[in-house]
Structure 1
Amino acid sequence: MTKHRTDAAATLLADVRADRAAENAAAARILVRAAEWADLHPPVEDDYTASATLGGRPTGAPLAGEGTPQVDEGCIAELAAALRCSTDAGTTLIGQALELRHRLPRLWALVHTGKVAPWQARLVAGRTMHLTREAATFVDDQVAAVTGKIGLTQLDRLITTAITRYMPAEAERQRVEAEEKRRFDIFHDQDGRRHGLAEVVGVLDLPDALDLDAAIGAGARMLAEAGVDKSLDVRRSMAAGELARSQPALDLTTTSEPGPLGDPADQPHDPTTTSSAPGPASTTLRPHRAPSQVTLYVHLSADALTGRSQQPGWVGNTGTPVTADQIRDWCGRPDTTITVRPVIDLNTTSSVEGYEVPDRIREHIALRDRTCVFPWCSRPAHPRSTRQRSDGTDTWSTDADHIQPFAAGGETSTNNLAPLCRKHHRLKTHTRWRYRMLALGHYEWASPHELRFQRGPDGSTVDLSPEEPKPAARIRHEQASAHAADPPPEPSAARPRTPALTTAG
């Protein structure tokens, strides 16, 4: 029994190793196909040259590093859709394939001999695109020497060495701009798994970090003294919210008068006060209570809000599912002001005369579709404008696209409008991609080469294209295997053999 189990385990491990080798070989072939697809689609105009993306937005930087060919931006979405991934993922794939083939040839060769996994090679390619050719060659030589055994930390050190050695001006620029890396990010719950909580990540100057830590610690202690029976971690998170509500803005005033204790240098440290330079004048940051308003779109039935039903709702701003209890908790806070607005019935049709789309219709389609409706695109369609242009007009996160063009008779109405991010709006306008609305929130897309996809109201995409044809080599192999497995036919006495036909000359 033990021997049988050992043999089965050994067989299983052998199968796993073979499967991984086959997976890597397939991924290597996809890299080749991606580079070949780029070769077939050079840009026809400079304005339509593909560029690398960051956060779903084009950066203007080339797809790959110096010396790699340019690619027409309109071709990428179709390859990505055929691979059932987002356009951004397709952009990254093509850029990394070109980087490997043209600037990291030793690593490219190792990928196709099975000595380096494609995902490891792509990791290196993604980090060398900004290097000069000389620096990229240095990285290629060093990485190839260890045949794919280098880790992320070692890779980053290697790239830093390449920059320092071959790009001294870039190294100095990075050193000077290091202080601009400070940031403070809030990541809102996107899928409901954190139950309405948000993650906060920041990189601060050490003095600012110490002051913030002290303020939050003091707030946590005050909450404990006030009878809040929660853990220290929970109280610290609550203190951060209280700190934000008590000081939502800063009032910068300049004063030359000494403080109540005389010279400013003799005063105790106050985290809300900073001195700009030695001397009688100083800049004081005073808390200024500025009212702030946040619009929260909550989709919930009246029964659930009053407690007669436990049916969950969802937050339209982020598409996050939330429980009725969570919404009642938000609305029940003493510092919350609730403004009831007319309900937007997403199943009705609203229209206007003319081409321009008013904010109320933009809000309607953003709440209905939640994201850009292109296959596998997840760019949020915020129900409110996200920022303003220099002239003070609103800027929305997605465009309101006329599915049937306005010039061709399409109406400016909710049943002929859909949110598209700028990249996919340009694609639909300037290439042969086309789509139609099957029902509210349901769209069918067709690519230039007639691949078909259906986008649903929950953001899912279904590939409706015909079953992928088998490569010619695989067909020949299967036919040969089938003939080898079939026994030769028995000669029949009732049917005489037919002589083979030959041709002379």
Structure 2
Amino acid sequence: MDEFNTAVLNDHDLLLGGVVDLVAENQASARRWARMVELHRRHPDTDGNFSLSAASWVAADTSEAWAMGDQFARSQLNTALFLSRHLPEVWDLCLQGSLDRFRATTIADVIRKRLDDPADWMRVAAKIVPFLRKHVRRFAEFNIEVVNCTITQLRNKLNYETRVLAPADEEFVRRFADRSVAVWEDEDGTASLSISTSVDEARLAKHRLWLSAKAKRDAGDPRTVSQLMSDLALDLIIGRAEGLPVPNFARPIVNVTVSLETLAGLNDDPATLSGGTVIPADLARAIATKEGATWYRLLTDAQGEPVSLSTTSYTPTPPIWRYVVATRTTCSHEGCDRPAVECELDHDKPYPLGETSTENLNPLCRRHHRLKHARAERPDLHWEYDPVGAFLHTLRTAA
């Protein structure tokens, strides 16, 4: 094998070469799956005192030849059989190297776990495949494509589409009835305290702790925000919370997007929290009826698409902010899952050349917002962006 010397490669070759490696890895994984599927076809179930199923034969043979555990081999075979038989378009993305084994396995596992009817599998596939293709990043230089949605984004999409067919209301009621507090003690003297509740209450609690921690940090407390959040939570529970600051929050903390039909009880389609987390219809309706809950309508045109809003000022108006965080649920930087309600709104085309409108604004978390502007200030590095997601087109070249 030729020596692989990274020192002679420029940034372009280091970064895009890694993409080529990634596609090759994806193809190799898919081809092993295809070999297992073909072996399964060739190995019929056997009879006799020591009979084995075709799956057992394949698992035994491949686990020995490919140095993997028997149970792992069996699970890989089950995934490969499911994808090749019931989700052919997802299977093709795997064979092309565009979709990696982990994401493909996630798709198979969620669909099989939630749904039993093959017709429902096809219905979900009809929603998932366009989602995957929407998140394809193309590298024209090598004529390759890679699906680059995050696992959280993928699971949120799978959760929503499967919950439309198999609502989780009964499961939520059962698990919420079992809510409790648990402690896990570690051998080093630390421990973890867990409180199970509904997702909206958990988010509310975490955000209020964060606000309180930030207030104390800004007042000069030397502890980190994470340390303060832990300490303040225990102060509240144990009773040491005298003088604990709890700042008011000026915008929605729990942002729920739900159809009017679900809210009115005409159907049980799930709703989504900012960030893409899927919640059952009953929970969405319960949140809507809580004291102090405020709901806003999102205006749509005849085709059901949201109507664009704009203002002549630099600062977005509250309706524009609500529109953006409702329609773009996470940070728009590729690979970032931070909920939009925790992000800053960024002008894709800088103001005033670009207007302050729902079409020209995207949520960016603090880190990626700073990163975008830091790159823009260094033209010598040849950074370049597309209008959505700040994807890097022109990579740095070695000096």
Structure-2-length-normalised TM-score: 0.37
More helix by share: 2
Structure-1-length-normalised TM-score: 0.30
